Amino acid sequence: MTSVHGGPRPPGSVQVRDVWESFRVYHERAQGLRDRLFAGRRNVVEEFWALRGVSLELEPGDTVGLIGENGSGKSTLLKCIAGIYTPTRGEVRTWGRTASMLELGAGFHGDLTGRENVYLNGSILGFSKRQVDAVFDEMIDFAGPQVAEAIDRPVRTYSSGMYLRLGFSVSVHLEPDILIIDEVLAVGDARFVQKCFDRIHELKRKGVTIAVVSHDLETVASLCERAVYLVRGEVVAAGPAVEVVDRYREDVTTAAPGGAISRWEGGAVYGTGAMQLHDIRLTTSTGAEGVATGDRLAVEFDAVAHEDVANPVFGMIVRANDGTYLYDTNTLWRRQGTGAVQPGGRLAVRFEFVANLLPGRYVVTVAASRHDGKQIYDWHTDALGFDVVGDFVANGLADLEGDISVEAAGDASAPGRTTDDTAERGVDTRDVPAGGS
């Protein structure tokens, strides 16, 4: 990585040129001597390209949101811009001072006081004591009275909320030329989050270049002028944020033709093999043309025994595509006997469930294990995937079947007020000691 300070471009510029980034994925992470010496080439090492030829130019004051599903490479790209990763191929250049906000309070030490940590954190982000001095009071003020009061106590005594508030405050008061933010805005109480947004908008007005990764598309659309949409490490759309976000939303909520239900490439498959699962498939009550919210789905597979097994347990896990755990059930918890199976014996297993899910992509893991669930016979991580499609009326994962009613509110009439007053008095009464009256 090269960077030229005060080079041909003004501070706040970023140039990402044809960046490729690879990770080595070890099946069994080889970090010990024995693994290196004896496993040698037999060790299964896969090369995984998180970024494939990404280019991006930012001018001072640009605000860009990186969007895409988990594993699309957006966080990797952000870390390349932040300098945390060095591109395997290609080049990232930045002009000016870069501060990354990938984790609030990164580098805080529990035994040091809030004040000591602020200076330490400041210098980790690359700011001098004088620069921190200049904004210290403002910073503490922003973090709130609770933090201000505890500033000379060790941060291990802080609540997690205080910790995050102080961490955020440090990050946004030291003004860099380029600010990098990864999913850190969803912290603390609503009021503090609002304050954070206000502060980031203020930095934006001051001309700080901002690159942000967020799952919250509204954040991206409102904060960023531009957006870059990544799929499997490649840029598939870049341009005005509102348009790119719409395009992404469309992709997530519209199934590709015939691709609504797919045999996933899937994740790890493992187990003793005493029993093996075959022909794992997903069917819908309406046929295979895509899944709509509320559809009844069935996950089916055949389980073939290779040894004598008694009462094997069959289970299914549904997860959102970003890994969020949604639903997990099995025959053991349901106290459902499955009987004895001899070698060569075959069972047909069928899980039925209702997709009370909002539009998006979901994955299904299936498994067979011993009668007590403690030994895995065959486990297929993310064996299936399906896309729930539908109109975008709500964001999130579960369909809570919400309704919104909006009516013209009546006059603030006397009965309403009376009720309020009664409630307040009720509280007051409780505060009076029982024997007081």
Partner 1 sequence: MYERGSSALRELAGARELLRNLTSRELKVRYKRSTLGFLWTLLNPLLMMAVFTLVFSTAFKTTIEWFPVYFLSGYLPFAFFQASVMIATGSIVGNAGLITKVYFPRAVLPLSVVASQLVHLLLGIGVLLGALVVLDLASDSADFDFVPYLPVLVLAIVLLAAFAMGMALLFSAGNTFLRDIGEFLPVGFLLWFYATPVIYQVDFLPEDWRWVLLLNPLTYYVQLFRDALYDPHWPAPATVAAATVCAAVSLVVGWTLFVRLSERFAKEV
Q: Which residues are within 8 A (CB) of 222 and not within 5 positions of it... i.e. 6 or more apart?
A: none
HSE at residue 153, side-chain half, CA atoms within 13 A, is: 11
Helix then strand then coil, in percent of the chain rounded to 5, is: 30, 35, 40
Q: Does 134 bind partner 1 (CB under 8 A)?
A: no
d(CA 413, CA 90): 69
Among 10, 53, 83, 266, binds partner 1 (CB under 8 A): 83
Shortest reach from residue 368's CB to partner 1, in Å: 35
**For partner 1, which stretch binds (CB under 8 A), given 3-11, 64-72, 355-363, 411-419?**
3-11
Nearest Cα to Cα of residue 53 among 83, 25, 78, 73? 73
Q: Specify the residue, 80 or 260, whose C-beta has the smaller distance to partner 1.
A: 80
Cα→Cα distances 67→41, 219, 236, 390, Å: 37, 11, 11, 21
Question: In 3-state terms, what secondary structure has residue 254?
Answer: coil
Nearer to partner 1, 82 or 212 (CB): 82
**116, 118, 124, 126 alpha-carbon torsion, rounded to 10°:** -120
Q: Is residue 106 within the footprint of partner 1 (CB under 8 A)?
A: yes
Applying CB under 8 A, does 231 fall inside the site for partner 1?
no
Q: Is 39 in the site for partner 1 (CB under 8 A)?
A: no
Binding track, positions 158-177, relative to partner 1; x by CB under 8 A: ------------------x-
Residue 100 sits in the site that holds partner 1 (CB under 8 A): yes
129 lies in the site for partner 1, by CB under 8 A = yes
Work out how close the CB of 124 gets to partner 1 at its nearest, in angstroms, rounded to a whole number.
6
- Tell me how many degrees the CA angle 314-317-320 measures, rounded to the nearest 5: 165
45 near partner 1, rule: CB under 8 A: no
Q: In the chain, what is the straight-line distance between the N-terminal and C-terminal CA atoms, in Å?
A: 77
> Binding to partner 1 by residue 97, rule CB under 8 A?
yes
Which one of 17, 52, 53, 102 is in contact with partner 1 (CB under 8 A)?
A: 102
What part of residues 329-348 is at the interface with partner 1 (CB under 8 A)? Answer: none
Distance CA 215, CA 199 (A): 20
Instruction: Report if residue 5 touches partner 1, rule: CB under 8 A.
Output: yes
Interaction between residue 124 and partner 1 (CB under 8 A): yes
DSSP H helical segments within 53-159, as ranges? 74-82, 114-124, 129-143, 145-149
The least distance separating partner 1 from the CB of residue 320, rounded to whole angstroms, comes to 24
The yes or no reply on residue 55 touching partner 1 (CB under 8 A) is no
User: Would you count residue 209 as binding partner 1 (CB under 8 A)?
Assistant: no
Q: Which is nearer to partner 1, 117 or 330 (CB)?
A: 117
Tokens found for residue 375? 């030994």
Residues 6+ apart with CB under 8 A from 72: 230, 231, 232, 233
Residue 330: which of 361, 382, 370 has the closest Cα?
370
Q: Would you count residue 4 as binding partner 1 (CB under 8 A)?
A: yes
From 119-127, 283-291, 347-355, 411-419, give the range in contact with partner 1 by CB under 8 A: 119-127
Interface with partner 1 includes 33 (CB under 8 A)?
yes
Minimum distance of partner 1 from residue 126's CB (angstroms): 4
CA distances from residue 4 to 10, 44, 79, 92, 97 in whole angstroms, order as listed? 10, 39, 19, 11, 11
Candidate segments 76-84, 252-260, 325-333, 395-403, binder of partner 1 by CB under 8 A: 76-84
CB of 134 to partner 1, least distance (A): 15
Contact criterion met (CB below 8 Å) for 26 and 48: no
User: Total number of residues binding partner 1 (CB under 8 A)?
Assistant: 41
Q: ∠ CA(188), CA(192), CA(196), 5° rounding?
A: 105
Q: Least distance (Å) from partner 1 to the CB of residue 76?
A: 10
Kind and range of the H or E element at 222? helix 217-223
Provide the CB-side half-sphere exposure for 371 (13 A, CA): 9
Q: 174-203 mask for partner 1 (x: CB under 8 A)?
A: --x---------------------------
- The minimum distance between CB 141 and partner 1, in angstroms, equals 23
Cβ of residue 174: shortest distance to partner 1, in angstroms?
9
- Cα–Cα distance, 146 to 153 (Å, whole number): 12
Q: Which is nearer to partner 1, 30 or 397 (CB)?
A: 30
Burial 380-407 (b: 16+ CB within 10 A, else e): bbbbbbbbbbbeeebeebebeeeeeeee
* Contacting positions for partner 1 (CB under 8 A): 1-5, 23-24, 31-33, 36, 79, 82-86, 94, 96-100, 102-103, 106-107, 109, 111-112, 116, 119-120, 123-129, 176
